[in-house]
Amino acid sequence: MVALGGSDIERLIAMLSRLPGLGPRSARRAALYLLREPQTRLAPLSRAMDSAARSVRTCSTCGTLDTTDPCTICADPERDRGLVCVVETVGDLWALERAGIHRGVYQVLGGTLSALAGMGPDDLNTAPLFARIKAGGVREVILALAATVEGATTAHWLQERLAPTGVAVSRVGHGVPMGGALDVLDDGTLAAALTARRPA
Amino acid sequence: MEWEAAALVLSARPFGEGSAIVHLFTEEHGRCAGLARGGASRRQASLWQPGNLALVHWRARLADQLGQVTGELVHPAAVTILDAPLSLAMLSSVLAVADATLPEREAYPALFLDTVRLVALIAARADDPPMALLVAWELALLGEIGFGLDLGACAVTGSTSDLRFVSPKTGRAVSEDAAGVWRDRLLRLPAFLRDPDAPSGPEDWRDGLDLTAHFLSREALGQRHVGLPAARLRLRERIGAMISA
């Protein structure tokens, strides 16, 4: 590899190139952009990252990432604590929050049942969910898991474990997305949409 | 080197940012793996769902390389049964067992056709899942990979009637009379494995699953010191729960 002006710069490029969406070439461009004006670009980024590394933690109630524990969502008195939406990852929670349609709270599982990924029932973050149900006040659990074999298997598994609690369990619908013309949809989505059709 | 064939997707795991390593089962090339570039992307993720039948194009510079795959969906089996827990458990089990037990790049044409047929039946009969056929498929798989059971006649008396048990050591059938005091140490042979037209229920399925699990664990997987796939264990657990309910 050609030396790029010192080991610190090379290390910065190497670290940036590990980020999603960046390869060595784009990491070099990003490093160069930051280093051109270090005081206004690099130093604030460095401080923000350092601060995030020190303050961000996992919420002990729902499993999301926040600077406080319990997280902002769990601590929000306006949220409906009787409505718990179960998602696979923090990214899924952020997607639902962006949409702004769920006014309840969440439970982040941290994955789905998958032999390939080494995820078994014990690896899923379900204990806080059952603790919340046991404590009372939960009316409905919404299973917002992926429309994949692993997502559906996890949903069925969880549904069976929730059945004895008496809490209502629902699942998000699968099918044609908003603005999705039928002729450009993939076959799997079309099949899911037809399978999950309902009376008009 | 390259080929094009109908393939059953056995499994797919993310690789890198948007790609996936997929395991496929084909008639001519057996179980094989390939890198699907963009396979975990929004556009392709539904194609590489386990259980789907796809027309796959596999290409590599050398035959022993992982190879790259592209594909086109032929039949989406998984998506039709996402809401049917037992069917989904059966599908996952069939695919996981095939993925775990079949040697790589060895052709099993008869087993491939049986597997495609079984997957199609599982997808089509969500209200009446073909559990007996699944157990029979596991027996056929054991036979194909060299660990076939001899269920034609009693290992002790040679009788071909009233076969009720299987020896866990030899894999040979044992009749009711010959079982004697050893019956508790023998595996139960469900009626539907003796007569494919015989009706079957959860208890027969449990006996069948326990029978094949014993030989899959000991012969097909035991040599590699791995246990039964989690999906197969969950299916057995589900049948057990059906019996207890």
Is B88 close to A156, i.e. CB distance below 8 A? yes
**One domain, residues B125 and B233:** yes
Residue B235, chain A, CB below 8 Å: the answer is no
Q: What share of chain A is helix, strand, coil (3-state, %, to 5)?
A: 50, 15, 40
- Which of B25, B57, B76 is the last residue before a domain boundary? B76
Residue B78, chain A, CB below 8 Å: the answer is yes
Residue A32, chain B, CB below 8 Å: the answer is no
pLDDT at A5 over 70: no
User: What pLDDT, in 10s, does the model give residues B6-23?
Assistant: 999 999 998 988 899 999
**One domain, residues B122 and B237:** yes
Residue B22 Cα, gap to closest chain A Cα (Å): 11
Residue B71 Cα, gap to closest chain A Cα (Å): 12
Contact of B36 with B48, CB cutoff 8 Å: yes
β-bridge mates for residue A171, sequence order: A143
Is B95 inside any structural domain? yes
CA–CA dist B38, B130 (Å, integer): 34
**One domain, residues B10 and B131:** no
pLDDT at A1 over 60: no
For residue B73, give the nearest of A113, A115, A188 by CB distance.
Answer: A188
Q: Structural domain boundaries of chain A?
A: 7-55, 65-199
Is B58 inside any structural domain? yes
Asked if the peptide bond before residue A70 counts as cis, ω within 30 degrees of 0, the response is yes
Fold of A65-199: Dna Topoisomerase Vi A Subunit; Chain: A, domain 2 (3.40.1360)
Is B88 close to A147, i.e. CB distance below 8 A? no
Mean pLDDT of A7-14: 92
Close Cβ partners of A131 (under 8 Å, ≥ 6 residues apart): none
| Average pLDDT over chain B, rounded to an integer | 93
Is B161 inside any structural domain? no
pLDDT at B170 over 70: yes
Residue A196, chain B, CB below 8 Å: the answer is yes
**One domain, residues B134 and B220:** yes
**One domain, residues B15 and B96:** no
- DSSP for A77-88, please give it: TTSEEEEEEEES
CA–CA dist B191, B163 (Å, integer): 9
Predicted TM-score (pTM) of the model is: 0.86
Q: Which CATH number fits domain A7-55: 3.40.50.300, 1.10.10.970, 1.20.1070.10, 1.10.8.420?
A: 1.10.8.420
- Which of B76, B100, B130 is the last residue before a domain boundary? B76
Residue B99's pLDDT is 96
* A38 — pLDDT class (breaks 50, 70, 90): very high
Higher pLDDT, residue B44 or A75: A75
**One domain, residues B140 and B229:** yes
* A183 — pLDDT class (breaks 50, 70, 90): confident
* Virtual torsion, Cα B62, B66, B71, B76, nearest 10 deg: 150
H or E element, residue B238: helix B230-244
CA–CA dist B24, B10 (Å, integer): 5
Count of structural domains, chain B:
2
Q: What is the ipTM of this complex?
A: 0.82
**One domain, residues B17 and B114:** no
pLDDT above 90 as % of chain B = 75
Helical residues (DSSP H) of B102-190, grouped into ranges: 109-124, 131-144, 176-179
pLDDT at A2 over 60: no
**One domain, residues B10 and B53:** yes
User: What pLDDT, in 10s, does the model give residues B209-227?
Assistant: 999 999 999 999 988 888 9
Query: Listing from the earlier edge strand, what are the strands of the sheet with A168-171?
Result: A104-108, A80-87, A140-143, A168-171
Q: What is the phi/psi pair of residue B92, to 5°?
A: -60, -40
Mean pLDDT of B118-131: 93
Cα angle B132-B137-B139, degrees, rounded to a multiple of 5: 100
Chain B residues inside the 8 Å CB shell of A192 = 79, 82
Task: Select from B96, B100, B92 the least CA-distant residue to B129.
Answer: B92
Helical residues (DSSP H) of chain A, grouped into ranges: 7-16, 24-36, 43-55, 72-75, 90-99, 127-135, 149-162, 187-195
User: Can you read off the two tokens belonging to residue A131?
Assistant: 């603790």
Rg, chain B, Cα only: 19
CATH of the domain at B48: 2.40.50.140
Rg, chain A, Cα only: 22
Residue A197 Cα, gap to closest chain B Cα (Å): 12
Pairing of strands A65-66, A57-58: antiparallel
Determine which of A149, A153, A184 to mutate to test the interface with B (most B C-beta atoms within 10 Å): A149
CATH of the domain at B217: 1.20.1440
Is B175 inside any structural domain? no
- Which of B76, B102, B135 is the last residue before a domain boundary? B76
Residue type (1 letter), B66: L
Residue B143's pLDDT is 96
Report CA torsion sign: B77, B80, B86, B88: positive
Q: Residue B121 belongs to what domain range? A: 81-151+189-244
Residue B20 Cα, gap to closest chain A Cα (Å): 12
**Please, what's the largest Cα pairwise distance for chain B?**
61
Chain B residues inside the 8 Å CB shell of A113 = 230, 234
A65-199 matches A7-55 in CATH topology: no
* B42 — pLDDT class (breaks 50, 70, 90): confident
A153-162 residues labelled b (16+ CB within 10 A) or e (exposed): bbbbbbeeeb
**One domain, residues B197 and B137:** yes
Contact of B24 with B32, CB cutoff 8 Å: yes
Is B96 close to A115, i.e. CB distance below 8 A? yes
DSSP-derived letter for residue A176 is P
For residue B80, give the nearest of A20, A116, A195 by CB distance.
Answer: A195
Task: Select from B217, B212, B52 the least CA-distant residue to B137.
Answer: B212
Chain B residues inside the 8 Å CB shell of A191 = 76, 79-80
